[in-house]
Amino acid sequence: MIKITKKDLSWSYLAEILQFGSNLLILPLILRSLESKELAIWFIYLTISRLANLFDFGFQGNIMRNITYIFSGAKELKKTGLVHVETDNQIDYNLLKSIIRGVKFIYFILAAITFLFLIFGGSYYINEITDGIFVDNKILFSWPIVIISTTLNIYYLYYTSFLVGRGLVKESKKAIIFSNIIYLLSSILLLSFGFGIVGISIAFLIQSISLRLFSSKYFYDNELKKSLKKSVYILNKKEAFSILWNNSWKMGVVSFGAFLILQANTLILPMYEGLIIVAKYGLTLQVINFLYRISLIHFTTFYPQLSSNRIKNNHKEIIKGIGTSFTIFICTFLIGSLGLLLFGNNILTMIGSKTMLFSFNILAVMLFMFLLEANHSIAAIIITSKNEVPFYFAALITGVVIIIFSLILFEFTTLGIWSIIISQFFVQLCYNNWRWPYFVLKDLNTSYREFLYVGFKNIKNQIKWI
C-alpha cells in the first residue's frame, strides 16, 4: 500500500520553496543584471519551454497513477476506470517492467517531437519578436541551450512519475532540491561573471542533467533492480501504449487548454504591449504561481495515497485526505494573498528590482482568479484519481474562447492588460470554476462544509499529537 508520511510532506514543502526560492534568491541579481527587455525574453523562453511541455500529452499524470496502481497490488490496468483491489497483493513486477519499457519508448518519441517544435516553431517566434532589439548575440547562444535543456526535461519526465507513483515522494523531492541547489550556484556564478541570459540558460541545462541523475539513482534501488531483472515482459510496447494513451491524450488536451488559459497570453501580450509590460506580467504571474503551487503541496503530495485509496475503495480515507488538503490550501492561499497585496512591491523595491508587480486592483483580481482556478483544478485531479477524464473538452474550448476574447478586447478596446484578466476571469467563471467542484461533491456525496470540518479536525489532532 502507498503510504505518504510527514517526511514526504516536509520534503515537498522544502522542494517547492527551494525551487521557487532558488529563483527568488537569484532574482535580485537577475533584476540588476538584465534590462526589462532582456528579462522579458527570459520569461518568453520559460513560456515556450512550458508550451513544449504540452508534448507530454498528459502521460506524466497517467503514468504516475498507473505506477501507483501497480505498487498497490493491481494485476491489471484498464484504459478507463479501476479494477478494485481489496487486499494488499504482491507487486506484479512483470506488469511493472512492461509499463516501464513502454513509457521510455513513448518519451523518446515525445522528446523528438519537442526538439523539432523548438528548432522550427520556437526559433521562428524568437526571431520575430526579438527583431531590432539590443540583445546582439545573446539570443544566438542562449536559445539553443534552452532547446537542449527543454528536450532533456521532456525525455526524463517519466522519472518523476515513477518516483511519486511508487510513493517515493521524499526521494523525488530530494532530487529536485539537489538539482535546484546546483542551478542556484551555477546561476549565481555565471551571472556574477556577466554571462547574463546565456548564463541562466547554461544553469538551466545543468539543472536538467543533474535532476535526471538523482532521480534515476533513487528509483532504481537494489531491490527493484533485482526484481525487474528476474521479471519478463507481459505486454509489448503497443499494448502498454494503448493502456496509457486512452486517458493521456485527454490529459494532453487539458494541459493544452490550461496553457491557453494561463500562459498563452504571455505570447500574445508582446503584440499589443511593450516588453516592459510583458516583464511586469511575467513577474506577477511567476509570484502568484508560486503561491498557487505552495498552497497545493499538501494535496499533490498525498495524491498517490488518494489513488491508492481509490483502487481499494476506501471512502472514509478519501474524504479525510481531501478535507485536510483542501483546508490547508484555503488557509495558505488566503494568508499568502494578503501578504502579497500588502508587501509585494515593497519587498521588490527593497531588493532594487527594476520591474514591479501590477497595481493593487489588478493584483487582487488576479489572486481571486487563481483561487477559483486552484479550486476547480483540485476537483479535476480528484476526478482523475478514478482514472477518468471527463473535463478534457471543456478545458480546450475554454482555452480557445479565452484567447479569442483576449484578442477581441485588445483589438477593439483600450483596456490594455485588463483584456487578458477579464477574458480569463469571466470565461472560467461561466463553467469550469463551478462545474467540476460540483461534480466531485456529488460523486463523493459530500460538501465543502464536510471537507473543512474533517480537515480542521484532522489538523487539530495532528497538532495535538505533535
Give 211-214's long-range contacts (Cβ < 8 A, gap of 24+). 211/153, 211/156, 211/159, 211/175, 211/176, 211/179, 212/152, 212/156, 212/159, 214/174, 214/175, 214/178, 214/179
Q: What is the pLDDT of residues 425-463, one digit of tens each?
A: 999 999 999 999 999 999 999 999 999 999 898 888 776
The helix or strand, by DSSP H or E, that contains position 177, with its residue range, turns out to be helix 169-192
| 19 neighbors 180 (Cβ within 8 angstroms) | yes
From 376, 369, 378, 370, select the one nearest 425 (Cα to Cα). 369
| 58 neighbors 252 (Cβ within 8 angstroms) | yes
Indicate the range of 328-332, 410-414, 457-461 predicted with least confidence: 457-461
Amino acid at residue number 209: I
More confident call, 433 vs 39: 433
Average of per-residue pLDDT across 267-284: 81
| 51 neighbors 268 (Cβ within 8 angstroms) | no
Phi, psi of 202 (to 5 degrees): -65, -45
Residue 464: its pLDDT value, please?
58
| 269 neighbors 420 (Cβ within 8 angstroms) | yes
More confident call, 402 vs 350: 402
CA 360/CA 76 separation, integer angstroms: 53
Residue 31: its pLDDT value, please?
72
CA 415/CA 402 separation, integer angstroms: 15
CA 99/CA 237 separation, integer angstroms: 8
Read off the C-alpha cell for 408: 477581441
Residue 429: its pLDDT value, please?
93
CA 304/CA 316 separation, integer angstroms: 16
Q: DSSP secondary-structure letter at 296?
A: T
The DSSP secondary structure of 73-124, one letter per residue, reads T-S---SSS-----S-PPP-HHHHHHHHHHHHHHHHHHHHHHHHHIIIIIHH
More confident call, 351 vs 376: 376
Q: What is the pLDDT of residues 121-163, one digit of tens each?
A: 888 887 777 665 545 567 778 888 989 998 998 888 888 888 8
Residue 370: its pLDDT value, please?
92
CA 252/CA 255 separation, integer angstroms: 5
Residue 89: its pLDDT value, please?
67
Statement: residue 465 has pLDDT above 70: no
Mean pLDDT across the chain: 84
Read off the C-alpha cell for 260: 491557453
Residue 134: its pLDDT value, please?
41
CA 433/CA 251 separation, integer angstroms: 18
| 243 neighbors 383 (Cβ within 8 angstroms) | no
From 390, 384, 244, 373, select the one nearest 303 (Cα to Cα). 384
Residue 126: its pLDDT value, please?
79
CA 184/CA 207 separation, integer angstroms: 9
Burial class (CB within 10 angstroms; exposed 0-12, middle 13-18, buried 19+) of 349 = exposed
Largest CA distance in the chain: 67
* pLDDT over 90, % of the chain: 21
Q: DSSP secondary-structure letter at 54?
A: G
Taking CA atoms, 300 is separated from 162, 304, 305, 319, 436, in Å, by 15, 8, 10, 15, 18
Phi, psi of 88 (to 5 degrees): -80, 95
